[in-house]
Structure 1
Amino acid sequence: MKALRRFTVRAHLPDRMAALERLSINLRWSWHKPTQDLFEAVDPALWERVGCDPVALLGQVNPKRLDDLAADASFVRRLDELAADLDDYLARPLWYQQQIDSGAQLPNGIAYFSMEFGVAEVLPNYSGGLGILAGDHLKSASDLGLPLIAVGLYYRSGYFRQSLTADGWQHENYPSLDPQGLPLRLLTDASNNPVLVELEMPDANQLRARVWIAQVGRIPLLLLDSDIPENDHDLRGVTDRLYGGDQEHRIKQEILAGIGGVRAIRAFTDVEGLPSPEVFHMNEGHAGFLGVERIRELIDAGLDFDTALTVVRSSTVFTTHTPVPAGIDRFPVEMVKRYFGSPADERSREEHAAGSPSGASSRLLPGVPIDRIIAFGEEDDPSKFNMAHMGLRLAQRANGVSLLHGRVSRGMFNELWPGFDTGEVPIGSITNGVHAPSWAAPQWMELGRELLGDADLDLLREPAVWGRLNEVDPGHIWWIRSQLRKQLVDDVRARLRRSCLQRGASDAELGWIATAFDPDVLTIGFARRVPTYKRLTLMLRDPDRLEHILLNDERPVQLIVAGKSHPADDGGKALIQQIVKFADRPEVRHRIAFLPDYDMSMARQLYWGCDVWLNNPLRPLEACGTSGMKSALNGGLNLSIRDGWWDEWFDGENGWEIPTADGLADETRRDDLEAAALYDLLEKSVAPRFYDRDEHGLPTRWVEMVRHTLIALGPKVLASRMVRDYTEKYYAPAAASLRRTVEPGADGQPFGAARDLAAYRLRVADSWPKVQITDVDSYGLPDTPLLGSELTLTATVQLADLRPDEVVVQAVLGRVDAGDALVDPITVPMQHAGTADGANEIFSTTTPLPVAGPVGYTVRVLPHHPLLAGDNELGLVALA
């Protein structure tokens, strides 16, 4: 018989063991090995069986075993020490508090929104890199002491579990997750009743969600759950699956994440007695509706829309992870109008589809004009609402996730700043990082402690500390790498056996797996999501050549492949099937395998054990690609297209660059060329370096590359570096901007500065079409100008209703191409020199010529206000 309902009952712990509950419910255990070791000691076999999950362990352990442990003085002492260590970790001043003590002006709270979070495999709320990055952000924020609150959705089925059919086709399974069996607690009010977040949906339906809290060290992660009896049946399924369903389902999820997420934060801070966050960070555009909810709050408090927008923008950060327009969520405008429609609008569906009257208030967000909401998502296609555009319009600060991705993003969103060169688009970059305690193998962590002479790994943030690896004997480095490779081979054999059995094989057919893969053979890993641009099957471009590389008698190679395709992406599933069919061949199956159900636990083994991490995306479509960082953190060498972070930090000695043909229009030809380059590198550089041994069997040149990789990349790839960068370059400036914006005005009323800036923006928008540069004169150059010769420029500017101090006038000069376009120009400020004819303003500057060759110049005007993040923020420019 099958159970009607499944739920989890937790064991009653003896009083002396009560601290186990506290240790199990705080996800710090997921990156704290001493705590993991303690839970393993409770019942090693059960620990392995439940997938190293403390909550599941405590739910299934024999009560007599707990009683026995309560009488074990050694175990109880360890438990008390670890409980005290957790208390100390949660309370002591960390980097953030030290910065404040030294006088840094930092926000009193940060809200971080993401649609997925990969904190630990026991909480499968992630699908790939975006979620793992978000999880690492939280863990490093905790280690640094940031006052951050994270917000997402609780997916009852998480992301799917992947298996393979007999013919290699991906099959998805969605297990139901019981939140009571996970390291979660319910947000309740003072009367211990669950707090419910409520949103008005079309047709007067109410979408309600309760809030689960995952405690990630110091960081509370709020997860909204719609599967509750208070909802109608169809609304209970809003949070059923991550990235599942159609656009109707998706917009409900994103409305709940953004608007419901803000309301969850308000409820949480009220219950916990915490200050409201000053800075709101959108990790991608999925939760972009949080900005309009915050505008509604401020309108309720008495502000007009534009002043509220000014306050919201000043304190919002937007991070884009998308290198292609196709990767952006875009909804039909009519769908957005339907969800945000006016409560007084009871016209027929046909009339409603024609659009609400300008200025009509939203049903979901009373007081917020619908046309202003729609304007946030405007793009070239008037029928589409662009979530990334909304994120950028609601945030004063924005960034990509690597230097190259920052450049790509500035080009992709250049349309929002017309008249500006791509390089001037106000989108910066902070290169992603990875959380070392989560991803570095225990052997490397132990070596780090030995080099530091201290169990506290905070010093790993300092590059000089990594230099101590120069003191480590190369034989010890190779021993660690060999030990991890052997551990990986054991894991691969076990996973390969399980996969073959799932696909219908019998034990009698699987004897070959016992000797499949070899702990002494060069091992390459390729594991990631399977969209087309990541080119899972580039390695199969020439199957015969790949087979020759794998089976080389003197320098064999073994290849481990893993990854999930989106359930709706049959093209991606077909790529997986191609790899599986090649790997199924008896000739090569001991050297190449596709492992199904790629998750954090598998990824960890791959990062630890692979000698080389392969990445061959279509450049520049990999925004960052943090999997290669995790491999590098374990001494793995990257073999990659120069994309994402690798474009930034490849130095010729920490791996290999696969030459690209990304300018080639013929995609087939490009793939052929890049595959051939990959094969050449494997045969002529990578394998020879690995198998080149000294008289003691040590690959000395390989080990030196491993050592150099750890020293050069170790401090760079850390998520602690990334979070510090966000704090110093984005969070602190956003908090400072907010505090200036909400200052009282000359009349003593709050938000005076915001009102002034909002009024300025409106005046600029009204006046800008009339701003003109009517005349530009130059003089002072000799007949034959030389580099450094001084050029004097004067410009006559008609400013309409703006004052000279409300604009900046700049001379822009530099080398010109054949079409007279300025190439990498410099800008020189021009000073106000007086008024002509009582109407036009004169601006002037004198500057040396900066370059030789064909040189040109122009003059431009930009709006200027001290509360803008930059003079390019409003996207307005007048050119001569």
Structure 2
Amino acid sequence: MRAIRRFTVRTVLPEALAPLDILARNLRWCWHAPTTRFFESLDPAAWDRVHGDPIALLGEIGTERFAQLAADASVVDRARELAEDLDRYMKEPRWYQSGFAAPGKPKAIAYFSAEFGITAVLPQYSGGLGILAGDHLKSASDLGVPIVGVGLLYESGYFRQSLSRDGYQRETYPLIDPNNMPLTLLREWDGTPARVSLPLPGERTLNAQVWVAEVGRVPLLLLDSSIPDNDPVSRNVTDRLYGGSKEHRMEQELLLGVGGVKALRLYSRLTGAPAPSVYHCNEGHAGFLAVERLRELMEGEEHLDLGTAIEAVRSGTLFTTHTPVPAGIDRFDRGLVTRYLDAMPLPGVPTEEVVALGNESYEGGDPSVFNMAVLGLRMARRANGVAKLHGRVSRQMFASLWAGFDVDEVPITSVTNGVHGPTWRAPAFQEMAERYLPAPEIESGGGWLTPAENGGVPDDVLWATRRELRERLVASARRRVRSSWLERGASPAELGWVDNVLDPDVLTIGFARRVPTYKRLTLMLDDPERLTRLLTDPERPIQIVVAGKSHPDDEPGVGLIQRLVQFTDDPRVRERIVFLPDYDIAMAQTLMPGCDVWLNNPLRPLEASGTSGMKCALNGALNLSILDGWWDEMYDGANGWAIPTADGVEDPQRRDRIEASALYDLIEGTVAPRFYDRDGRGIPRRWMEMMRHTLSDLGPKVQATRMVRDYVERLYVPVSDAHDVLDVPGHEAARSLASWKAKVRSQWGEVRVDYVEAHLPDVAQIGDSAEITAQVSLGALSPQDVTVEVLAGRVGADDEIHDFSTTELPPVDAVGEGRWVFRGSEALEVAGPFGLAVRVVPRNPLMAAPTELGLVAVAAPSTVTSEQHTSFGD
């Protein structure tokens, strides 16, 4: 009979071993190897049974064994030492407290995400977004950045993946018990569970309790609706990640955003933690946090009006977009959103005005749709993509929100993702590095180029360590393949071949990620016979390890997995290519270090960033990737290979054929020969050069500590500074800005450039200047409300100005009836075809950028006169 609830009965720890509970409940153990090794040493067999879960381990060890451990002075002393080390880690000043000096740096930063991938023990993630969020928190902890995470606690996580006999993905949703996880329930002073609640349509109320995970120094608040206070439907709001109907997703995102802000307030009240001055919305799922913060200000003592409240909320909000794929953005029916927000109205404000914040009310948009990314962008002071290329793609993708501005001016910057080194660098690789290199040199990358005779890592040691990692992957893959086939219904007697799956001395290529169609899981199968020849080459064979999950509702993605699995089942290749089901953090920590080459072949430019290849690079693996995401900016010709792309080919099948052929050519003609080209000691010298270069060049760049420092310096501090001006008691600046924006919006229809005079030399040369005079009508606005700019730069055949610079024209005279003359000069500093344009944009020192209102008035060609028509030359 199936249990209706699963839980663990734990032995009471002897007093001498009380530090074990402290060590198990702080998730720092998942990236602190000494703590992990200590837990494993308590009972290696039990540690293996519980899959490396310290909380489960403490429930697995019996009273008699604990008594033996408590009597062992070395065990007791080691537990105390590790607990003291953790205490120092939690309290000592780190980069943020001592190495980073910035006036007014935020005292607290709230980081909202729908998923967090911290450890396989806490299965609250589906893929890259969650792993990135987990690495963000871990690196913030290591740097001492005062972040508090906010998410949901999913009763079944994402899903467990297995395969049917014919290779079809099957999903199961095992229940988890938060009482048996490294979580602590947030409680009121009287000991009762702390609760948040929010009203829903139909006079329903959604209640949630709050669990706290300690991620080193960073608290992570996870809201859980599976409590008796709720009706059966509401209990299931946090049942699983990315599941259910549109209404279910709407309730999840309201709980994450609205409930998340309430949970922050609870946490501050009960712990004394400072209120955040930065609210980082990691993707659009948490966008409704802005609605709750509006409510707080409008229902508070000052009773702010909507316009003032919007300026105050925007001032402290950062929005990060992670998808260049429109289908990846949450979009809800406008009527559905209206119905839910009607249940939690803002005082004195029609719900339609709140819904308008997320409407696609722009050219090309769908006015019947509420877009969570649009809400995030409209309610954020700053916004960013997650790689340089993704920033460019995002500016193009959302350009309609800032119609009239050049795409490059769209206010979306980028911070390239990174990965948490201590989590993703294999312990064996780290230990080898520490034997030969000081820790600072490992992190900076410089030590990898140190010759062996000067204390660097010898080639034979580095190559032997890489083989050890490959050997561990092979052993793990064989266990997983056997287990998978048994689940698929095979008899043990049929599986003798599994003992020969993969070879620790064969070039190993890895491919593992979520499986939407644009990531092209099966591009490698475009020519099955050619791939078969590569896999079975008698001189230079390759082997491929593949893993990944597809969302259960993504039928094309599920079909790709089935096609790949059916290919791996072929007896001709099944010892050289495997699909490992149920991809998770635990698998990744063996798979990625064990690969020699990491393959990534998305449809460019649809990969926002990707971080799996970064994790491989930290272990000396080389990347073989389409120039997309992070690889587009970090590939340098010596740290891996770039797969040529067929950009511009519209036929998707032809494009796939071209790029698959390029992939085969690279593997056959370059990658495999370089791997197998050995010297007399069996070492591939050219491969080692690339490996060392990768470690020294990419090692520092791909670290999440670099990423978090970028967020702090480039985004968190500026956002916090704006918050400290616009969202402070009295809100004078926010009132002023809201009033000014209302005035500008009402008058902008009167703003126009009446005419422009350009006085040019007969023959323009570099170093000359163009004298520009513009007469501008401003209606009831004043010159202090606007900036009149000259845009200048090279022009193409279409007369578009590319890479333009801007120069402000100051006002020089009023000519009556709201008309003003502006005059200035533009230096001619670029040879060749050159162009000028004039425009008017709003100006207010309280705005983040002139683009903030999305308003611009541009001079029409008919308004321009020139004293001399001339070509621009040297």
2:169 is aligned with what amino acid?
A: Q
1:201 Cα deviation after fit:
0.4
1:449-468 to structure 2, matched below 5 A, reads: 449-453=434-438, 462=444, 464=446, 468=450
| Correspondence for 2:740 | 760
Q: Deviations over 1:142-184 (max 9, x none)?
A: 0011111100000000010000000000000100000011111
2:805 is aligned with what amino acid?
A: I
Structure 2: runs of 5 or more not aligned: 860-874
1:130 is aligned with what amino acid?
A: L
1:832 Cα deviation after fit:
1.9
Give the Cα separation in 2 of the matches to 1:854 and 1:798. Answer: 30
Give the Cα separation in 1 of the matches to 2:647 and 2:696. Answer: 31
Instruction: Choose which of 765, 774, 796 in structure 2 pairs with 1:817.
Output: 796
1:452 Cα deviation after fit:
5.0
Instruction: Choose which of 578, 598, 601 in structure 1 pairs with 2:583.
Output: 598
Quick check: 1:377 aligned with 2:358? Answer: yes
1:804 Cα deviation after fit:
1.2
| Correspondence for 2:523 | 538
Q: Describe the shift of the 1:196–1:30 C-alpha distance in structure 2 as closer, same or farther (beyond 3 A).
A: same
| Correspondence for 1:349 | none
1:634 is aligned with what amino acid?
A: N
| Correspondence for 2:865 | none
Q: Determine if contact 2:790/2:826 at 8 Å carries over to the other structure.
A: no
| Correspondence for 2:74 | 74
2:503 is aligned with what amino acid?
A: D
3-state DSSP of counterpart to 2:503: coil
| Correspondence for 1:10 | 10
Q: Determine if contact 2:433/2:457 at 8 Å carries over to the other structure.
A: no
1:696-775 to structure 2, matched below 5 A, reads: 696-742=681-727, 750-775=730-755
> Which stretch of the first structure deviates more once superposed, 130-139 or 501-510?
501-510
Give the Cα separation in 2 of the matches to 1:827 and 1:219. Answer: 43
1:317 is aligned with what amino acid?
A: L
Instruction: Choose which of 765, 780, 789 in structure 2 pairs with 1:786.
Output: 765
| Correspondence for 2:779 | 800
Q: May I ask how many residue pairs the two structures share in their alignment?
A: 850
| Correspondence for 1:127 | 126
Give the Cα separation in 2 of the matches to 1:57 and 1:743. Answer: 48
Q: Deviations over 1:270-316 (max 9, x none)?
A: 10011101100000000000011101101112211111110111110
| Correspondence for 1:354 | none
1:445 Cα deviation after fit:
1.8
Q: Describe the shift of the 1:836–1:462 C-alpha distance in structure 2 as closer, same or farther (beyond 3 A).
A: farther
1:370-409 to structure 2, matched below 5 A, reads: 370-379=351-360, 380-409=365-394
Give the Cα separation in 2 of the matches to 1:293 and 1:196. Answer: 16
TM-score by length of 2: 0.96
Q: Determine if contact 1:299/1:367 at 8 Å carries over to the other structure.
A: no
Give the Cα separation in 1 of the matches to 2:124 and 2:703. Answer: 22
| Correspondence for 1:508 | 493
Q: Deviations over 1:741-773 (max 9, x none)?
A: 2467xxxxx211111111111111111111111
Q: Determine if contact 1:142/1:216 at 8 Å carries over to the other structure.
A: yes
| Correspondence for 2:669 | 684
Give the Cα separation in 2 of the matches to 1:203 and 1:460. Answer: 59
Q: Determine if contact 1:296/1:367 at 8 Å carries over to the other structure.
A: no
| Correspondence for 1:351 | none
Q: Determine if contact 2:507/2:672 at 8 Å carries over to the other structure.
A: yes
| Correspondence for 2:190 | 191
Q: Determine if contact 1:461/1:720 at 8 Å carries over to the other structure.
A: no
Structure 1: runs of 5 or more not aligned: 343-361, 745-749
3-state DSSP of counterpart to 2:803: strand
Q: Describe the shift of the 1:366–1:722 C-alpha distance in structure 2 as closer, same or farther (beyond 3 A).
A: same
Q: Determine if contact 1:300/1:367 at 8 Å carries over to the other structure.
A: no
Quick check: 1:423 aligned with 2:411? Answer: no
3-state DSSP of counterpart to 2:578: strand
1:869 Cα deviation after fit:
1.1
Instruction: Choose which of 424, 429, 433 in structure 2 pairs with 1:439.
Output: 424
Give the Cα separation in 2 of the matches to 1:472 and 1:800. Answer: 72
1:815 Cα deviation after fit:
2.1
Give the Cα separation in 1 of the matches to 2:804 and 2:467. Answer: 52
1:799 Cα deviation after fit:
1.5
Q: Describe the shift of the 1:369–1:706 C-alpha distance in structure 2 as closer, same or farther (beyond 3 A).
A: same
Give the Cα separation in 2 of the matches to 1:417 and 1:315. Answer: 21
1:287 is aligned with what amino acid?
A: A
1:465 Cα deviation after fit:
5.5
Quick check: 1:96 aligned with 2:96? Answer: yes
1:828 Cα deviation after fit:
1.3
Q: Determine if contact 1:151/1:223 at 8 Å carries over to the other structure.
A: yes
| Correspondence for 1:348 | none
Q: Deviations over 1:770-807 (max 9, x none)?
A: 1111111111x221212332101011111122221221
> Which stretch of the first structure deviates more once superposed, 415-424 or 781-790?
781-790
1:491 Cα deviation after fit:
0.7
Give the Cα separation in 2 of the matches to 1:367 and 1:263. Answer: 21
**Alignment identity in percent?**
56
1:844 Cα deviation after fit:
1.4
TM-score by length of 1: 0.95
1:475 Cα deviation after fit:
1.7
1:469 Cα deviation after fit:
7.7
Give the Cα separation in 2 of the matches to 1:453 and 1:464. Answer: 10
| Correspondence for 2:610 | 625
Q: Describe the shift of the 1:743–1:52 C-alpha distance in structure 2 as closer, same or farther (beyond 3 A).
A: closer
Q: Determine if contact 1:461/1:721 at 8 Å carries over to the other structure.
A: no
| Correspondence for 1:317 | 318
Q: Determine if contact 2:448/2:692 at 8 Å carries over to the other structure.
A: no
2:747 is aligned with what amino acid?
A: S
2:116 is aligned with what amino acid?
A: F
Instruction: Choose which of 832, 851, 873 in structure 1 pairs with 2:830.
Output: 851
1:848 Cα deviation after fit:
1.7
Q: Determine if contact 2:420/2:703 at 8 Å carries over to the other structure.
A: yes
Give the Cα separation in 2 of the matches to 1:156 and 1:639. Answer: 37
1:198 Cα deviation after fit:
0.4
1:44-193 to structure 2, matched below 5 A, reads: 44-99=44-99, 102-193=101-192
3-state DSSP of counterpart to 1:601: helix
Q: Determine if contact 1:474/1:704 at 8 Å carries over to the other structure.
A: no
Q: Deviations over 1:375-395 (max 9, x none)?
A: 111112111000000000000
1:111 is aligned with what amino acid?
A: A
Q: Describe the shift of the 1:318–1:534 C-alpha distance in structure 2 as closer, same or farther (beyond 3 A).
A: same
> Which stretch of the first structure deviates more once superposed, 868-877 or 206-215?
868-877
Q: Describe the shift of the 1:460–1:428 C-alpha distance in structure 2 as closer, same or farther (beyond 3 A).
A: farther
3-state DSSP of counterpart to 2:237: coil
Give the Cα separation in 2 of the matches to 1:468 and 1:376. Answer: 56
2:252 is aligned with what amino acid?
A: Q
3-state DSSP of counterpart to 1:873: helix
3-state DSSP of counterpart to 2:771: strand
1:823 Cα deviation after fit:
2.1
1:827 Cα deviation after fit:
1.2
Q: Deviations over 1:316-361 (max 9, x none)?
A: 000000102111100000001111116xxxxxxxxxxxxxxxxxxx
1:418 Cα deviation after fit:
0.4
Q: Determine if contact 1:469/1:711 at 8 Å carries over to the other structure.
A: no
1:367 Cα deviation after fit:
4.9
1:469-488 to structure 2, matched below 5 A, reads: 471-488=456-473
| Correspondence for 1:345 | none
Give the Cα separation in 2 of the matches to 1:712 and 1:96. Answer: 25
Q: Deviations over 1:447-497 (max 9, x none)?
A: 44345545xx6x755454665588322222211111111111111111111
1:817 Cα deviation after fit:
2.3
1:830 Cα deviation after fit:
1.3
| Correspondence for 1:839 | 818
1:212-611 to structure 2, matched below 5 A, reads: 212-301=211-300, 302-341=303-342, 362-363=344-345, 365-379=346-360, 380-453=365-438, 462=444, 464=446, 468=450, 471-611=456-596
Give the Cα separation in 2 of the matches to 1:334 and 1:122. Answer: 39
